[in-house]
Structure 1
Amino acid sequence: METGMDVGMGMSMGTEMDMDMGMGMDNFWLPTTEARRSFSPGEAPSQVMNWYMTGNTVGRNGSENGQPHARSRAGPVEASAHDVLSPTRNMFRPTSQGTTPTTTLSESPSDSSGPSFPQRSVEVAETTPGGGSDDSSPQHAAVAENTIDNQLSVPQPSNWPAEFSLEFRQGYSNQLVGLSCESDPFLLRHYRFNAQGTYHMLRLDFRKVVDDVKSQDPSGPTAPTSQSNSSTDNDPIQFMMCDETIWADDIKATERLLSGDGTEAADMALLNKVVNPDLGARLLKLYSRFVHPRYPVLSLSDLRRIPESDCSLSLPIGIRSAVYALAAPFSFLDDELSVSKGYGDVPTEDLWAIAHRSFQRAGCLSHISLLQLCLLLLQMPPQNFVVAEPSKFWALSCSAVAIAENLGVNMEPTGWRLPREEIMLRRRLWWLTYVAHTWHALVYGRPSHLNDANWFVSKLTEDDFERGEGEDLDSRRSILQQIPICLAQFDLGLVAADVLKEFYSIRAHWESPTLNSLLSRAQPLRARIESWRQTLPLLSTRISELSEDDFDNGAALRLSHLTLEIMIFRALLRPLAYDAESVPERCQEPISTIFENCYICASVATEIVSSLRSKHFASFWPHYTRFQLCYVSTFILLNLAQSATKEMALRNKALLDKWRDTLRIQARAWPLARLAAMRLDAIFWKGVSSVIHGAGPDSPAVLLLNEPSSRESGDGRRT
């Protein structure tokens, strides 16, 4: 049965389910009558989910012309949760759908649409262009000191035995599980850690370095400690302990790129040896058609210069090599290469090694091509698709920001005395850097190195893209088709940056511990997402009504959009850990509405991924896509752990099983799904009950998994 989910308020749903969230004349949340009524898993597709309010002005105050206006930072959040959820209370005036608020040169695009931080016991009135704020200002610093330092009491240092050192285990690397990491520290607090604070898995362990009030002492009683409605009571702090053998392929690749004499002449000879002129021309054509339109790092004149054999440091050989490597996965779409591939693949290992060596040489100088090469390297596929990249990849993302700042790409070049093509390129490069770094910061759980006070490049328009003049018909059609997709990607990147800042920075986390304050931040962000969805028909139309091409073009954007929805809801779930004494409260407004929307959000994500086919897998996907899929897994597990009733636990467990089947099937044909599939399989291998152990023995989820039928299906514990 073809499915379709329309989640608009007041619209009859029938039994169709579309993998779409949204839509048009929706209110922000479920109406109270729907939210209070529980429903079975089979009814989920027909529920009305009012995710958004109509065309909100994305969190801006008063004047809409970008003029300075006053904004006050109030003390404690006084509005009730019901008021925050209300579609008519605490909301700004709507704007027309299909348009986005304009940003003037006097304001930061990010700050112009972001909600202000709710502060405690401090009122600071400020006037800033466009409502933006400078985090480094004295006023802000004073507020931060008042709100954070007064909450945080630093414990006295203790002296633990040497075996508790993070560096004690030979052959294991350690890295912090950040707040926004796909592993989710608030889900990890439910894991059954041993007496040493370690949860063992295969080649990957989790180590907690502090206990928190919502976690259970492994050596103590099995019942969880008392809960609170605050997310800052001894926050969970864990580290990933990774068996370094999982990165053996990365180490070999690093040794390979360091081998040889490392000169540009030697790399040029190697490149000409592994890619002859005919092969190079075919790969360049594939890149121009399938990669460049979705990732316009290079100008068309750059692409035309690539076949030249006299590459210089101003257009380093690494760009040519990286272009060939990124085009190689599409060789099956070339008549000749699809045949010759049966006798030998394009040697991408050599090509990426050449690109990395070229990047090191080019770093001695300063050209736009250095940033271009860095952004191309950020799209390098992993050595092993079931393993997360080593930490050097995050360092490369930070390098892109540093290079862009060094070149002045973070500044608006429109009025500069430069050729028009160079101005267009510089503007595109900044936004490509901004979006890539923001998403990498989010999926790796790291603080963004972008400071809104230190950049301004106005939002891109269609005039910032070359139209493909002089290219073949297929390439030109692809370029024109992808321009609005790229613009939507950049706009969504601004929302992603504010989700990271509002919920997953250390400061924001400490300043918004209660459900009320979290809701006040979530409301304008989710309204911005709905406003963004209305900018393109392929984002707001039911998938069942989209053409094959439209679904293919919008698939990556839809997955990114869903990831941000998950990140917002994940933050809202922090203060809602299961507590038997508060079950009646969990079944009423507004908490019941949050649980309902979390379930539907995860259901939509499952349906979208299950709708992807081989044609979609063959498209160019952002590098961070494979981590976005992991978010769905941990989000469903968190919903299961925090289920307030047995009915909720049953439907979340059923959804988890469906998602696992989806990942297993898709991972066979889609390498980007293998990391998420492997990690979820590992959880089932250990036993789902050990992952939600911290919810407590009387929680509906633990009781469900302890039933004989669950144990027989492999959901029980494994030691």
Structure 2
Amino acid sequence: MDSGRKYKSRGQPPCDACRKRRICCVRLPGALDCALCQTRQVHCTYNSVPVPKHGRGPSRRQRAATAASSESTTSSSQKEPSKTSTAIISSSTTGMSPKTNSATLAEPTRWITQFLGLSGDQDPFVLRHCAFDADCYKRLDWACLRVSGSISNSGDFGGASFAPAQFAVVPDTHLDARPTYYPSAETWHRMMSGVERQRLLAVYASTIHTSFPLLDQQQIASSLEGPLPSSTTNNPDSRSLLLVSMCALSAHLARGACSLQHRRALYQYVFEALPIERRHPRLEVVEAALVFLQRYASINRAPTTPGLWSEIGAVVGMCHELGLNVDPTGWHITVAHRNRRIRLWWATYILATFCSLGLGRPSYISDDDWSVPMLGPEHFSSSSSGDFSNGSSNGSNLSGSPSGIFFGRGSGSGSPTGMSPGMTNDARAEDEQGQTNFIIMAHLAVLLARLLSSFYSLAAVERLRHAAPVDIHLLFLTFQQQLLQLKALHLDRRPSMAGAFLDSSGFVRLAYHAVEIALCRAALRNLDASFPYYTSVRLYAQEAVESVVTLLRTLQINQLRAYWWNPLSQIHFSLAGSFLFYFLLSSTTEEEIDYWTAKIKEYRQLLELDNYGFPVTRLAATRMALLASVNNGDGGDNSLQTPVEPSHHHASSFASNGEYFDGYLNVEKGN
């Protein structure tokens, strides 16, 4: 908003207040006063007239800017740009900063977007007075992109949104997005340019994508068929990071397709490049982080999930940075890009909510701070980029593409359900089931978020301490009814996969039982055994945990082949194991003790049996072994246990307390 810019008429004269400040006079259809005067609670007046300035020629800076603009326009016309790109480039220097260096006048190739929040220092209500041209105020060093809250070409006011949705856009070269310590891509580039890359991506498309349909089908097809970007060798970026994450996740499932040395190189590249890309995220960076979160642990001896919660927080932070938590339905973007943003948000929401349950952490996401619509089958479509959600003639990629801010490159016509037309019936059924499971997980995550807030938050724990047992049971019945409705409406209506090569339904059934266990565990903790309905709650909990044991016992070979969401499934199996120990410790009769002892033994045997070809059960098997050893007196406080012959397995049990607590905990351990 250069104060020296001449006012451009918008079909109506500016009021005195806007003319004095030399800003655009924004007036809603049917409004008597402009937005500025409404904010000041005054009426618009039109007494002043523009004062012509005679005898003043263009300054030296303006002449240099005009020459640079004409050169860029000439060079771009030789490449036959689109109508939208031509409009942006021709107006790119109208608001150039006086401090812009001549070295920065070249058109940037990659942009970085940042969503403008309502309380930020870049006030979107102030920036809406920019001299927007086709919903973009662009300079060569900075731009403001407006995707909602403006008067569109059709005449309506941006979907009647009161709060404008805008992005600040800067070239990535201005933010040191590619520092000198960015990891080299020579190792994985030599590997992925050959047959090995094709095999890994084929495994991702056939196994992982059918269970975790985060990416677009056309996006996967282009990575399979198209060559690597020409800039990948010397200057890798976030697009290559997503490609490496897909190959790294597939390396564990593609037996013989990737050597151990190449697998380590893939992991090393992602571990080094992802923290750098996370500072200035794009959509493909969020996709790469979500895909890489699904990796299996390289060392399974550890009974913990180190770094998982901090990685979840980083993904949530990137989503907020890109505005993925805001409803993009009325934005001036393509349908394919809108669906992509909705899928990314729901994948993040699902992982954050279920990991909050499994790790016992407060959620990073507040229900008051997101407005994305519920995920549906229509959000997995692969519409062409020329199809816009509101009929506007320009779309936005919002992810920093080489084509500039307005990125309208198509991803193919696609099919209505987002599947390739040449797919077989089994492949279509597998993709349909993966999308249905994704939608069910979104519904479960919303219900689980309310459950965690009602039972497991610190404020809820304090409230339940003073609540009457009848009220706690009523709250339990409310969530139980909601779970049964969700099961009847969604879980029981999933497409049947009998006889199919891949069946990825196991993880969504496991997630449903995990939510049941979370509900019953909270209710049993707050209800006394003398309560009249305590027995009914305990029976419902018993059915839930036994369903997990039955699921593990009746696993079919087509379910073992399918990819299960990780690390959620690992945590859910572990939750069921700890709940089995709860039933054993709360048993009051010899029959109950024998029953739950046998059930724990069976569950541990099933976990160990599937551990060799099904790594999803490794975390639960390790933690069950630890709980069993503590219960049998193999560890813990030696003064309360029978002495056991020391061995290398239990050496840590005989270490002094000061070895752990004095050096690593900033608390005083009581005697």
Do both proteins adopt the same fold according to a TM-score greater than 0.5, normalized to the shorter chain? yes
- What is the deviation of 1:555? 0.8
**Higher Rg:** 2
> Separation in 2 of the partners of 1:508 and 1:692?
31
- Do structure 1's residue 505 and structure 2's residue 457 form an aligned pair? yes
1:656 to 587, 600, 605: 600
Q: Is the 8 A contact 1:283 1:328 kept in 2?
A: yes
- Do structure 1's residue 644 and structure 2's residue 567 form an aligned pair? no
> Separation in 2 of the partners of 1:688 and 1:674?
21
1:531 maps to amino acid: Q
> Separation in 1 of the partners of 2:570 and 2:524?
23
- What is the deviation of 1:617? 2.6
> Separation in 2 of the partners of 1:346 and 1:495?
43
Aligned ranges 1:512-661 → 2 under 5 Å: 512-513=464-465, 514=467, 515-536=469-490, 538=492, 547-549=498-500, 552-575=503-526, 585=530, 589-623=532-566, 624-661=568-605
Decide whether aligned partners of structure 1 residues 512 and 666 sit closer, same or farther in structure 2, where only a CA change above 3 A counts: same
> Separation in 1 of the partners of 2:600 and 2:550?
12
SS at match of 1:512: helix
- What is the deviation of 1:571? 0.9
Return the structure number with greater relative CO, CA threshold 8 A, min gap 6.
Answer: 1
- What is the deviation of 1:510? 1.1
1:383 to 291, 295, 298: 298
Cα-to-partner distance string for 1:282-329 (whole Å, 9 max, x where unaligned): 222221221123223322343345342334776432111111112223
Decide whether aligned partners of structure 1 residues 668 and 366 sit closer, same or farther in structure 2, where only a CA change above 3 A counts: closer
Structure 1: gaps spanning 5 or more residues: 1-259, 333-337, 707-717
> Separation in 1 of the partners of 2:189 and 2:502?
39
- Tell me which residue corresponds to 1:677: 621
Q: Is the 8 A contact 2:570 2:619 kept in 1?
A: yes
Decide whether aligned partners of structure 1 residues 692 and 654 sit closer, same or farther in structure 2, where only a CA change above 3 A counts: farther
1:263 to 182, 186, 189: 182
Q: Using the TM superposition, name which of 311-320 and 624-633 deviates more.
A: 311-320
> Separation in 2 of the partners of 1:562 and 1:440?
15
CA RMSD of aligned residues (A): 3.2
Cα-to-partner distance string for 1:472-522 (whole Å, 9 max, x where unaligned): 546555323322221112111112212221111111111113533332222
Paired residues, number: 418
2:540 maps to amino acid: N
- Tell me which residue corresponds to 2:173: none
Aligned ranges 1:31-50 → 2 under 5 Å: none
- Do structure 1's residue 309 and structure 2's residue 268 form an aligned pair? no
- What is the deviation of 1:454? 0.6
1:468 to 390, 395, 419: 419
- Tell me which residue corresponds to 2:341: 426
> Separation in 2 of the partners of 1:669 and 1:539?
30
Q: Is the 8 A contact 1:428 1:464 kept in 2?
A: yes
Cα-to-partner distance string for 1:344-376 (whole Å, 9 max, x where unaligned): 457222112212222123234232122112212
Q: Is the 8 A contact 1:602 1:636 kept in 2?
A: yes
Q: Is the 8 A contact 2:212 2:434 kept in 1?
A: no
Q: Could you state the TM-score of these two structures normalised by the residue count of structure 2?
A: 0.57
> Separation in 1 of the partners of 2:585 and 2:616?
27
Q: Is the 8 A contact 1:318 1:357 kept in 2?
A: no
Decide whether aligned partners of structure 1 residues 661 and 391 sit closer, same or farther in structure 2, where only a CA change above 3 A counts: closer
2:436 maps to amino acid: P
Q: Is the 8 A contact 2:246 2:292 kept in 1?
A: no
Q: Is the 8 A contact 1:441 1:447 kept in 2?
A: yes
Q: Is the 8 A contact 2:584 2:596 kept in 1?
A: yes
> Separation in 2 of the partners of 1:617 and 1:381?
15
Cα-to-partner distance string for 1:166-193 (whole Å, 9 max, x where unaligned): xxxxxxxxxxxxxxxxxxxxxxxxxxxx
SS at match of 1:457: coil
- Do structure 1's residue 666 and structure 2's residue 585 form an aligned pair? no
- What is the deviation of 1:627? 1.4
Q: Is the 8 A contact 2:346 2:442 kept in 1?
A: yes
- Tell me which residue corresponds to 1:413: 328
> Separation in 2 of the partners of 1:322 and 1:440?
21
> Separation in 1 of the partners of 2:494 and 2:547?
14
> Separation in 2 of the partners of 1:370 and 1:354?
14
- Tell me which residue corresponds to 2:441: 489
Q: Percent identity?
A: 19
1:478 maps to amino acid: E
Decide whether aligned partners of structure 1 residues 348 and 500 sit closer, same or farther in structure 2, where only a CA change above 3 A counts: farther
Cα-to-partner distance string for 1:216-266 (whole Å, 9 max, x where unaligned): xxxxxxxxxxxxxxxxxxxxxxxxxxxxxxxxxxxxxxxxxxxx98435x2
2:564 maps to amino acid: W
> Separation in 1 of the partners of 2:301 and 2:560?
17
> Separation in 2 of the partners of 1:638 and 1:384?
28
> Separation in 2 of the partners of 1:389 and 1:490?
26
- What is the deviation of 1:537? 6.1
- What is the deviation of 1:383? 2.1
2:464 maps to amino acid: S
> Separation in 1 of the partners of 2:265 and 2:588?
54
> Separation in 2 of the partners of 1:537 and 1:671?
25
- What is the deviation of 1:653? 2.1
Decide whether aligned partners of structure 1 residues 655 and 364 sit closer, same or farther in structure 2, where only a CA change above 3 A counts: closer
Q: Is the 8 A contact 1:313 1:362 kept in 2?
A: no
> Separation in 2 of the partners of 1:539 and 1:518?
31
SS at match of 1:534: helix
- Tell me which residue corresponds to 2:247: 324
- Tell me which residue corresponds to 1:166: none
> Separation in 1 of the partners of 2:220 and 2:460?
43
1:392 to 289, 307, 310: 307
- Tell me which residue corresponds to 2:112: none
> Separation in 1 of the partners of 2:254 and 2:356?
32
2:209 to 292, 305, 308: 292
1:387 maps to amino acid: A
> Separation in 1 of the partners of 2:253 and 2:493?
26
> Separation in 2 of the partners of 1:303 and 1:290?
12
Q: Is the 8 A contact 1:533 1:540 kept in 2?
A: no
Aligned ranges 1:70-469 → 2 under 5 Å: 262-263=181-182, 266-267=184-185, 269-306=186-223, 307-310=227-230, 311=232, 315-332=238-255, 344=259, 347-389=262-304, 391-466=306-381, 467-469=418-420
> Separation in 2 of the partners of 1:270 and 1:599?
52
Cα-to-partner distance string for 1:396-430 (whole Å, 9 max, x where unaligned): 10111111111011011111111111001001111
Decide whether aligned partners of structure 1 residues 690 and 501 sit closer, same or farther in structure 2, where only a CA change above 3 A counts: farther
> Separation in 2 of the partners of 1:353 and 1:314?
15
Q: Could you state the TM-score of these two structures normalised by the residue count of structure 1?
A: 0.54
> Separation in 1 of the partners of 2:493 and 2:452?
22
Q: Is the 8 A contact 2:472 2:523 kept in 1?
A: yes
> Separation in 2 of the partners of 1:385 and 1:424?
36
SS at match of 1:316: helix
Decide whether aligned partners of structure 1 residues 612 and 487 sit closer, same or farther in structure 2, where only a CA change above 3 A counts: same
> Separation in 1 of the partners of 2:298 and 2:252?
14
SS at match of 1:293: helix
